[in-house]
């Protein structure tokens, strides 16, 4: 039965790819639904479509020497890439891995050289290596450049202001679903920095199984740029009992949450993250933030990218899937959310919010204080 379902899904994906025009709604639905895009061969065909990259006109990389000479980022990129051994398949011959690491350096330096407004950050290479391993260096360069100027742009400013801004959506999501967990974390003053490496590497740095990483990339590429923070929230909510059983202090809760389990029920969490995005869209959560610099964030300007790429909105796909769920499964909200009493309730703005038109905002940052222990963001 599994094999037959997989064959039907593969057939549907190729039918969507071969239709004229390409059926983007179906490709997004396939990327979001159980199992994602199934194989790297399919990903190499669908990921460019999700990012509106023309694979018929891929640029060639400049000479390696030209890229590396007098490049201000080269030494830091080199150090990070040399530390990335565990991101390559176990058992890969050393010469093959070393060759890929050189390609990884070249891709990063090329994207930064072509886009001087982008600033390298530690963890960026964890995203780039995923694309390199799936689609090869040439296509990876084009995909990473588009991703960096859209979804990842907020992480690539000179300061962390926009990154902190996105992290500030984590607690409002948790608050909507489970006020008890939210209040416990607030009492512990744990903040949100435990999720920083999750967010800025799209979980590539913290998950050891490459299959889980690429499955999440299928999901994130098909969705709104803020979806990774919704996925971070459902991980915390999935571990709610562990959190509540923890000592209510910053060090204990941070240590617990920063050690992400490797055996998570990924398909269930992906489904829940999509449901939460529909139930509590960014525009609704923004009420809990003081609006600042919203025009600078990728999430607020994603509609421009969406219109330019002439693709169906991912939130439409999510809402359609949410509506079509069998009645027996339609218990997410009642199970995941608790009645709220004597608490500030956000005004419901409806599920017809246009993708990317979310009124992003910045709440008082949980990252402003300096923790008194080593955070080990990138162990």
Which domains can be identified in the chain, with CATH numbers?
1-151 (1.10.8.1310), 160-310 (1.10.472.80)
pLDDT of residue 366: 34
Given a cut of 70, whether residue 259 has pLDDT beyond it is: yes
The larger pLDDT score, comparing residue 76 to residue 364, is at 76
pLDDT bracket for residue 118 (50, 70, 90): very high
The larger pLDDT score, comparing residue 303 to residue 360, is at 303
pLDDT of residue 236: 98
My answer on whether omega of the bond before 21 falls inside 30° of 0, hence cis, is: yes
Q: Give Rg (Cα) of the chain.
A: 20
Average pLDDT over every residue of 228-252: 97
Distance between CA atoms of residues 161 and 154, nearest Å: 8
Given a contact cutoff of 8 angstroms between Cβ atoms, the answer to whether 174 and 236 are in contact is yes
Average pLDDT, the chain: 82
CA distances from 169 to 214, 234, 357 (A): 24, 12, 16
Q: How many CB atoms lie within 10 A of CB 266?
A: 19
Average pLDDT over every residue of 255-273: 95
DSSP calls for 13-61: HHHHHHSSS--HHHHHHHHHSTTTT-SHHHHHHHHHHHTT--TTSPPPP
| pLDDT > 90 fraction of the chain, expressed in percent and rounded | 65
pLDDT of residue 113: 93
The DSSP symbol for 337 reads: -
pLDDT of residue 196: 96
Given a contact cutoff of 8 angstroms between Cβ atoms, the answer to whether 173 and 287 are in contact is no
Given a cut of 60, whether residue 370 has pLDDT beyond it is: no
Average pLDDT over every residue of 64-73: 87
Given a cut of 80, whether residue 10 has pLDDT beyond it is: yes
The larger pLDDT score, comparing residue 298 to residue 330, is at 298
pLDDT of residue 98: 94
Find the range with the poorest average confidence among 31-35, 70-74, 337-341: 337-341
Average pLDDT over every residue of 16-39: 96
Given a cut of 70, whether residue 334 has pLDDT beyond it is: no
Average pLDDT over every residue of 142-151: 96
Our measurement of the distance from residue 181's CA atom to the centroid of its chain's CA atoms, rounded to an integer in Å, reads: 23
pLDDT bracket for residue 286 (50, 70, 90): confident
pLDDT of residue 78: 94
């Amino acid at each position: 039965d599994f094999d037959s379902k997989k064959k039907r899904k593969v057939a549907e994906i190729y039918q969507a790819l071969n239709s004229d025009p390409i059926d983007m709604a179906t490709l997004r639905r396939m990327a979001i639904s159980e199992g994602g895009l199934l194989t790297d061969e399919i990903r190499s065909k669908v990921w460019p479509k999700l990012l509106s990259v023309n694979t018929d006109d891929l640029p060639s990389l400049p000479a390696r020497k030209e890229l590396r000479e007098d490049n201000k980022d080269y030494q830091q990129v080199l150090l990070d890439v040399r530390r990335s051994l565990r991101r390559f398949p176990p058992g890969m011959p050393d010469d093959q891995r070393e060759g890929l690491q050189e390609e990884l350096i070249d891709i990063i330096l090329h994207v930064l050289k072509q886009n001087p407004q982008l600033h390298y950050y530690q963890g960026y290479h964890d995203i780039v290596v995923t694309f390199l391993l799936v689609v090869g260096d040439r296509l990876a360069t084009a995909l990473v450049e588009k991703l960096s100027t859209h979804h990842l742009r907020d992480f690539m400013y000179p300061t962390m202001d926009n990154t902190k801004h996105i992290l500030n959506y984590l607690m409002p999501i948790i608050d909507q679903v489970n006020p008890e967990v939210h209040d416990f974390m607030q009492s512990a003053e744990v903040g949100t920095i435990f999720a920083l490496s999750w967010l800025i590497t799209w979980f590539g740095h913290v998950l050891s199984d490459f299959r889980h990483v690429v499955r999440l990339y299928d999901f994130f590429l098909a969705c709104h740029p803020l979806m990774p923070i919704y996925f971070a929230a459902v991980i915390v909510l999935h571990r709610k009992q562990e959190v509540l059983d923890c000592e209510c202090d910053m060090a204990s809760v941070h240590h617990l949450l920063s050690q992400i389990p490797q055996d998570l029920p990924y398909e269930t969490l992906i489904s829940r993250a999509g449901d939460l995005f529909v139930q509590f869209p960014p525009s609704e959560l923004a009420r809990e933030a003081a609006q600042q610099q919203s025009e600078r964030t990728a999430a607020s300007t994603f509609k421009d990218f969406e219109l330019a790429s002439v693709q169906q909105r991912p939130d439409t796909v999510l809402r359609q899937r949410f509506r079509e769920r069998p009645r027996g499964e339609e218990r997410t909200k009642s199970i995941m959310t608790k009645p709220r009493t004597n608490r500030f309730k956000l005004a419901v703005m409806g599920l017809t919010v246009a993708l990317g038109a979310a009124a992003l905002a910045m709440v008082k940052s949980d990252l402003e204080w300096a923790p008194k222990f080593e955070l080990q963001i990138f162990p």
